[in-house]
Amino acid sequence: MNQLSVLINGMPLLLRGLAVTLKLGVGFIALGLVLGLLLALGQIYGNRVVRGLCSGFVQIFRGIPAMVLLFIFYFGLAHLNINLSAFVASMIAMGFRSAAYQCEVFRGAMQSIQSGQVVAVQALGMNLLQRIRYVVLPQSLRYCLAPWSNEFAAEIKDASLCYAIGVTEIMRQGRYIITATFGNAMFIYVTVALIFLGVTSIGLWLLRRWELRLQVPGF
């Protein structure tokens, strides 16, 4: 009974935290998508300088743990008198990190596009931008959907790391409930876990349906 009332009273807080978690997760993915796509295009079509910069970026943000990145962008920058809110610092650090991972996904997909088709539309008179827009991107984005749903789940889950720099997302709300009710740690954290499970499961299911809808015979 006691636990049920804790749950009922605490749920609004948890859901408020979930909203923040989702905002973070979706934000990371969105920033990662745009930037990741640009990085991939830079690595494939850019000159040596551009390629080097893009590869460098990817290497750095894939090689440093998320927690360390968060601390650098929040505490580190503050030390240099650049004061970002925890939310913004999270968005930048994790968004860049997601970009690095998504870039690799896009790059793999783009490079596996049959170059014959690109040559064929080149022979029609399409310039580079048109070739990318009408052949390379539509096809590589389709190839991307499967590995991309991995990335989606990862970002939603990694949003919980932002707990460490003080963002009031679902983990922190859970913590508040536990301290306020003097216990129930297992119960609350399992509830948080189930909420995450629910969100990622629904998200993956939706992405799978989208993937099936975009499927084209012979692809």
Partner 1 sequence: MKLLRVEDIRKSFGSLQVLDGVSCELEKGETKVIIGPSGTGKSTLLRCINLLTKPDSGRVWLDGVEVTDPKTDINHLRSSIGMVFQNFNLVTHLKVLDNVRIGPMRVKRIDKKCATDLALEKLTRVGLSDKVGSYPAELSGGQQQRVSIARALAMEPKLILFDEPTSALDPELIGEVLAVMEDLAQSGMSLVVVTHEIGFARSVADEVIFLENGRILEQSPPEKMFTEPKHQRTQQFLHKITHLYGHESRAEET
Chain contacts with partner 1 (rule: CB under 8 A): 114, 116-117, 119-127, 130, 134-135, 138-139, 142, 216-219
Q: The tokens 């979930």 sit on which residue? A: 18
Min separation Cβ 53 and partner 1, Å: 28
Of the two residues 1 and 216, which places its CB atom closer to partner 1 in the complex?
A: 216
Min separation Cβ 143 and partner 1, Å: 10
Of the two residues 16 and 142, which places its CB atom closer to partner 1 in the complex?
A: 142
Of the two residues 21 and 139, which places its CB atom closer to partner 1 in the complex?
A: 139
Q: How far apart are CA 210 and CA 219, in angstroms?
A: 15
Supply the DSSP symbol for 161.
G
Contact between 54 and 107 (Cβ < 8 Å) = no
Of the two residues 115 and 179, which places its CB atom closer to partner 1 in the complex?
A: 115
Min separation Cβ 108 and partner 1, Å: 18
Min separation Cβ 137 and partner 1, Å: 11
Min separation Cβ 113 and partner 1, Å: 9
Of the two residues 68 and 119, which places its CB atom closer to partner 1 in the complex?
A: 119
Q: How far apart are CA 40 and CA 110, in angstroms?
A: 8
Min separation Cβ 106 and partner 1, Å: 16
Distances (CA, A) of 20 to 108, 159, 172: 32, 9, 11
Of the two residues 81 and 127, which places its CB atom closer to partner 1 in the complex?
A: 127
Please name the residue ranges forming H helices in the chain. 2-45, 48-63, 66-71, 77-79, 86-111, 115-124, 128-131, 137-158, 170-180, 185-214
Query: Residues near 92 by Cβ (< 8 Å), separated by ≥ 6?
Result: 31, 73, 84
DSSP string across 121-151: HHHHT--HHHHIIIIIHHHHHHHHHHHHHHH
SS3 91: helix
